[in-house]
């Protein structure tokens, strides 16, 4: 393996967590997210020259993941809509355990994230979690920069408002 | 009078993407405006919890992803021919990862050198034996174990499947780990058709007898392939010499 190839693989490994988050936001399902990333990795390794020659490997990989997801969605449209999201298993119930979980800020943030539209999730993950600029996110998602700005803001507001309803959130706002 | 800022303006401010004039006004207002400080603090807290929530939702990174990216599971010729459906690919890759871990290769991830050659490769039609294992499968006689870098290979049976492919059932022993595997010759590779883990069986010659639950699973794989013809010693020798050409004679 050449030094360049080693460097490429090392960058690829470092990128995996960011790609998984993006894939989760697109697919809304952990299993599908990992499948998407895996296929993207295969694509990168079998097109290593193209990947290495890309101006930015992360942009190239994000785009591969997105295109794979578009292909997958087309196939799903033919096959019929799949079971929606593993996260719906976490819909709040009224038993004691759920009540206890509901007091956790993290559990609440997770529920709010799960209930966001895919558009808000992808914008929030790309900008807030993965640290892309609005311009980078807009280019990747092929939407105007103002749309990204608006989606990120709406995602933040949904989270902030939802979290302020938890006991610790209310305490921090007093 | 305190200036009112929209959520979008505050959000852009946090992302370092706000209008410079607005950002300067926010900076100025923050010095005295407690309500504004709290609004920003709520957003920052929301950001932090979002990061944790997303990673929590994803859970641990599947070992197969890192193994593929680092080359511990080889990706050979993928995309040059027909494409594996994503689910099937995941299934094969998971199997490869399980086998590699079973062989003590995957456990080295991140802490030791990658193996010189993968025991298995992910080909266009699924898992195939890597070069060392393939050589052993191609050259070993039934009942005569051979030692390789990938472990000890003991072939128990050579047969022709109902599709006309030449197949071999063998055991791969590596220390305390043992796998019973069925592989069929296809397009110049040994494609892994099925495998099962089992403890090494004490044997004088390494030959595995057809009994026990793991063998039942492997027998099921063979039944599915269809055992059209079991090769005798002479036929096996011919197949070894001819490089396991799958065409029926």
For residue B37, the tally of other CB atoms under 10 A from its CB is: 13
Q: Which residue has the higher pLDDT, A95 or A78?
A: A78
| Phi, psi torsion values for A23, nearest 5 degrees | -65, -35
Q: What is the 3-state secondary structure (H, E, C) of A42-92?
A: HHHHHCHHHHHHCCCHHHHHHHHHHHHHHHHHHHHHHHCCCCCCHHHHHCC
B31 touches chain A (CB under 8 A): no
In eight-state DSSP terms, residue B19 is -
What local confidence, expressed as pLDDT, does residue A91 receive? 37
Residues A11 and A49 reside in one and the same domain: yes
Contact A21 B93 (CB under 8 A): no
Same domain flag for A111 and A155:
yes
- pLDDT at position A70: 92
Instruction: State whether A125 and B53 contact (CB < 8 Å).
Output: no
Is the pLDDT confidence value at A94 over 50? Answer: no
Answer yes or no: do A10 and A37 share one domain: yes
Q: Name the more confident of A95 and A55.
A: A55
Average pLDDT, chain A: 82
Tell me whether residue A49 is in a domain: yes
**Distance between CA atoms of B141 and B158, rounded to whole angstroms?**
9
DSSP B119-135: SEEEETTEEEE-HHHHH
Same domain, A64 and A111: no
CA distance B36 to chain A (A): 12
User: Is there a single domain that holds both residue A35 and residue A74?
Assistant: yes
> Which of A79, A100, A135 is where one domain is finished?
A79
Distance CA B85, CA B82 (A): 10
- Strand-strand pairing, B120-123 and B74-75: parallel
The Cα B166–Cα B246 span in angstroms is 5
- Using the 3D structure, point to which of A34, A54, A79 is the last residue of a domain: A79
CA atoms within 13 A on the CB side of B199: 2
The reply to whether A32 and A57 lie within a common domain is: yes
Q: Is residue A86 part of a domain?
A: no
Whole-angstrom distance, CA of residue B105 vs CA of residue B97: 9
A147/B contact by beta carbon, under 8 A: no
B184, B191 in Cβ contact below 8 A? yes
Q: Which of the residue ranges A20-29, A141-150, B14-23, B101-110 would you say has the lowest mean pLDDT? A: B101-110
Residues 30-89 of A with CB under 8 A from B: 30-31, 33-39, 41-43, 45-47, 72, 87
**Considering only CA atoms, which of B175, B170, B160, B169 is closest in space to residue B226?**
B160
Lowest mean pLDDT among A9-23, A82-96, A97-111, B219-233: A82-96
Which pair of tokens denotes residue B58? Answer: 């994803």
Alpha carbon of A12: minimum distance to chain B alpha carbons (Å): 7
> What CATH number did the domain enclosing A161 receive?
1.10.10.10
A119 in the same domain as A151: yes
For residue A129, tell me if it sits in a domain: yes
Chain B CA closest to residue A164: B42
Q: Which has more confidence, A98 or B95?
A: B95
Indicate if A58 and A11 belong to the same structural domain: yes
Residues A101 and A142 in one domain: yes
- Tell me, what's the pLDDT at B82? 37
* pLDDT over 60 at A83, yes or no: no
Record the tokens describing residue A149, joined without a space: 């700005």
Boundary (domain end) residue, out of A30, A49, A79: A79
Q: Does A159 touch chain B (CB under 8 A)?
A: yes
Q: How far apart are CA B235 and CA B143, in angstroms?
A: 15
CATH of the domain at A49: 1.10.1740.10
- A53 and A101, same domain (yes or no): no
Looking at the 3D structure of chain A, how many domains does it have?
2
User: Are B12 and A149 inside 8 Å of each other by CB?
Assistant: yes
Each residue's pLDDT, cut to its tens digit, for chain B (249 residues) gives 567 899 999 999 999 999 999 999 999 999 999 999 999 999 999 999 999 999 999 999 888 888 888 876 655 433 333 344 455 555 555 666 555 554 444 333 333 334 455 677 666 666 788 888 899 999 999 888 898 877 889 998 899 998 889 999 998 887 767 778 889 998 888 988 877 765 544 444 433 333 444 566 778 788 888 888 888 888 899 999 999 986 544
**pLDDT tens-digit readout, B179-230:** 788 899 988 889 888 777 655 444 444 333 334 445 667 787 888 888 888 8
Helices (H) and strands (E) in chain A, counts: 10, 0
Considering the domain architecture, whether residues A75 and A35 belong to the same structural domain is answered as: yes
Q: How many CA atoms lie within 13 A of A15 on its CB side?
A: 25
Inside any domain, residue A84: no
Q: Do the chains contact at B89 and A36, CB–CB below 8 Å?
A: no
The answer to whether residue A99 sits within a structural domain is: yes
> Are the CB atoms for A33 and A23 separated by under 8 Å?
yes
Burial of B65 from C-beta contacts in 10 A (0-12 / 13-18 / 19+)? buried
Interface ipTM > 0.85: no
Helix (H), strand (E) at residue B234: helix B233-242
| pLDDT given for residue B15 in this prediction | 95
Domain extent for A116: 92-172
């Amino acid at each position: 393996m050449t030094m360049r190839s080693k460097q490429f693989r090392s960058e690829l490994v470092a990128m995996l967590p960011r790609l998984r988050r993006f894939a989760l936001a697109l697919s809304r399902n952990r299993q599908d997210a990992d499948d998407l990333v895996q296929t993207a990795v295969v694509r990168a390794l079998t097109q290593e020259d193209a990947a290495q020659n890309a101006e930015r490997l992360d942009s190239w990989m994000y785009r591969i993941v997105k295109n794979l997801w578009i292909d997958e969605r087309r196939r799903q449209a033919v096959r019929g809509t799949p079971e929606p999201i593993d996260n719906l298993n976490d819909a709040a119930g009224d038993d004691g355990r759920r009540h206890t979980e509901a007091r956790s800020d993290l559990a609440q943030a997770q529920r709010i994230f799960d209930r966001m539209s895919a558009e808000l999730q992808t914008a929030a993950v790309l900008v807030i979690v993965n640290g892309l600029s609005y311009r980078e996110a807009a280019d990747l998602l092929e939407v105007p920069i103002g749309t990204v700005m608006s989606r990120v803001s709406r995602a933040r507001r949904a989270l902030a408002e939802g979290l302020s309803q938890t006991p610790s959130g209310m305490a921090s706002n007093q | 009078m305190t200036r009112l800022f929209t959520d979008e303006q505050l959000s852009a401010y946090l992302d370092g993407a706000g209008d410079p004039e607005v950002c300067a006004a926010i900076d100025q207002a923050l010095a005295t405006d407690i309500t504004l400080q709290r609004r920003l603090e709520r957003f920052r807290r929301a950001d932090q919890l979002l990061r944790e929530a997303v990673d929590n939702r994803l859970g641990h990174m599947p070992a197969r992803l890192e193994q593929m990216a680092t080359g511990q599971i080889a990706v050979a010729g993928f995309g040059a021919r027909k494409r594996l459906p994503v689910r099937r690919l995941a299934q094969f890759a998971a199997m490869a990862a399980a086998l590699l871990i079973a062989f003590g290769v995957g456990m080295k991830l991140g802490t030791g050198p990658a193996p010189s050659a993968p025991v298995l490769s992910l080909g266009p039609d699924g898992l195939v034996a890597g070069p060392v294992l393939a050589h052993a499968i191609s050259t070993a006689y039934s009942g005569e174990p051979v030692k390789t870098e990938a472990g000890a290979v003991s072939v128990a049976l050579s047969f022709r499947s109902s599709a006309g492919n030449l197949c071999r059932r063998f055991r791969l022993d590596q220390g305390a780990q043992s796998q019973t595997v069925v592989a069929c010759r296809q397009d110049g590779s040994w494609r892994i058709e099925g495998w099962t883990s089992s403890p090494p069986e004490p044997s004088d010659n390494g030959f595995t007898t057809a009994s026990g639950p793991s063998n039942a699973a492997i027998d099921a794989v063979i039944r599915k392939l269809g055992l059209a013809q079991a090769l005798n010693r002479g036929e096996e020798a011919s197949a070894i010499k001819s490089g396991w050409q799958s065409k029926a004679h």
